[in-house]
A and B are shown apart, each in its own frame.
Chain A
Amino acid sequence: MKKNTKLTLCLVTLLAAVALLGAVYLAARPSPVTGEKSIAVTVVHADKSEKIFRYETDAEYLGSVLMEDGLVKGEQGAYGLYIKEVDGEVADFAVNGAYWALFEGEEYATTGIDATVLEDGDQFSLVYTLG
């Protein structure tokens, strides 16, 4: 097989893989849920003290609820909202490697706070974590 034909085949394969992955993502991503939901957010501070915040909301994403309430403050970055402050406590990675980790139930969240879709009964935790 000529070298150019091989490269063309590889290019077509890569483009097909891109299209396939895009389709998998669109099919598998969680869809926003409309209607009212009850959610709970547990904040675990640096001193290990815990506070539970409960919300009744029509919002579709966690970030919008917590930002609107003022529980969370942060900066919009390339990967979405980066949480800097929760319930008045700042986690500054540049100072001591601290950050706010988001958990959905017991699992470490795989999406940012502003891309986390809400469902009725969801329970989240925001945990002050030292990296």
Chain B
Amino acid sequence: MAGQVALFGVLGALTFAAKVAMMALPNIEPVSLLIMVYAVTLGKKCLFPMYIYVILELLLYGIGIWSIGYLYVWAILALAAWLLRDMKSPLGWALVAGGFGLLFGALFTPVCLLLGGPAFALSWWLSGIPFDLIHCGANFALVLILFVPLRRLMTRLLAERF
């Protein structure tokens, strides 16, 4: 039990550190990849490292449109990955991550709707489309290359240690 708690803390912190390390690159992030790996290897327990990461985001960047959206967008990705957990194809996983990147801005529109109304939400989504396109391409490439080996590594480490 204590080992698992420590593991979740380390994974949450690792996710945050990886995100910060890649922050200079617009919408090119390792979080989608890691959340998907956690979802298929930890199941519902992936919520622990995921929300540790979200709490770290809130602590560092405060409360805003992004951080409020983070409360649910990563859970949507984790749920999608968990539902598709039997899929083996790297291309299939890349498509999931690419689709998530493409929809990323749209997933924040409920927060924008509540905070600023329909015009603000539409404007927010439209102005972010170039970043969503980058996010889609970067997620697709990262997951295509890294998802399968990371999943294998994580599965082996979890089997050895827990």
Task: Check if B129 sits within 8 Å of A7, measured CB to CB.
Answer: no
Q: Report Cα–Cα, A110/B117, bound state, in Å.
A: 13
Task: Check if B102 sits within 8 Å of A78, measured CB to CB.
Answer: no
Q: Report Cα–Cα, A17/B100, bound state, in Å.
A: 12
Task: Check if B24 sits within 8 Å of A78, measured CB to CB.
Answer: yes
Interface: A95 (CB within 8 A): no
Task: Check if B25 sits within 8 Å of A110, measured CB to CB.
Answer: no
Q: Report Cα–Cα, A29/B123, bound state, in Å.
A: 9
Residue of B nearest to A108 (CB): B116
* Chain A residue total in the interface (Cβ 8 A): 23
Q: Given A14-B98, A78-B24, A107-B116, is A25 in contact with B64 using a C-beta cutoff of 8 Å?
A: no
For B140, what are the chain A residues with a Cβ–Cβ distance below 8 Å? 14
Q: Given A21-B102, A107-B120, A108-B116, is A131 in contact with B61 using a C-beta cutoff of 8 Å?
A: yes
Task: Check if B126 sits within 8 Å of A29, measured CB to CB.
Answer: yes
Of B5-13, B36-44, B74-82, B130-138, the stretch lying at the interface with chain A is: B130-138
For A24, what are the chain B residues with a Cβ–Cβ distance below 8 Å? 126, 129
Residue of A nearest to B92 (CB): A7
Query: Please, what's the 1-or-0 string for B79-98, where 1 marks a CB less than 8 Å from any CB in chain A?
Result: 00000000001011001001
Query: Please, what's the 1-or-0 string for A1-34, where 1 marks a CB less than 8 Å from any CB in chain B?
Result: 0010001001100100110011011001100000
Q: Report Cα–Cα, A28/B123, bound state, in Å.
A: 9
Task: Check if B26 sits within 8 Å of A78, measured CB to CB.
Answer: yes
Task: Check if A14 sits within 8 Å of B102, measured CB to CB.
Answer: yes
* Chain B residue total in the interface (Cβ 8 A): 30
Task: Check if B133 sits within 8 Å of A22, measured CB to CB.
Answer: yes
Query: Please, what's the 1-or-0 string for B89-130, where 1 marks a CB less than 8 Å from any CB in chain A?
Result: 101100100110010000000000000100110011011111
Q: Report Cα–Cα, A111/B131, bound state, in Å.
A: 12
Task: Check if B132 sits within 8 Å of A21, measured CB to CB.
Answer: yes
Can you give 18 contacting A-B residue pairs, CB < 8 Å? A3-B89, A7-B92, A7-B95, A11-B91, A14-B136, A17-B99, A18-B136, A25-B129, A29-B126, A79-B26, A107-B116, A107-B123, A108-B116, A110-B120, A110-B123, A111-B127, A131-B63, A131-B64
Give A residues with C-beta under 8 Å from B: 3, 7, 10-11, 14, 17-18, 21-22, 24-25, 28-29, 77-79, 97, 107-108, 110-111, 115, 131
* 5 closest cross-chain pairs (CB), A and B: A131-B62, A25-B129, A78-B26, A110-B127, A110-B123
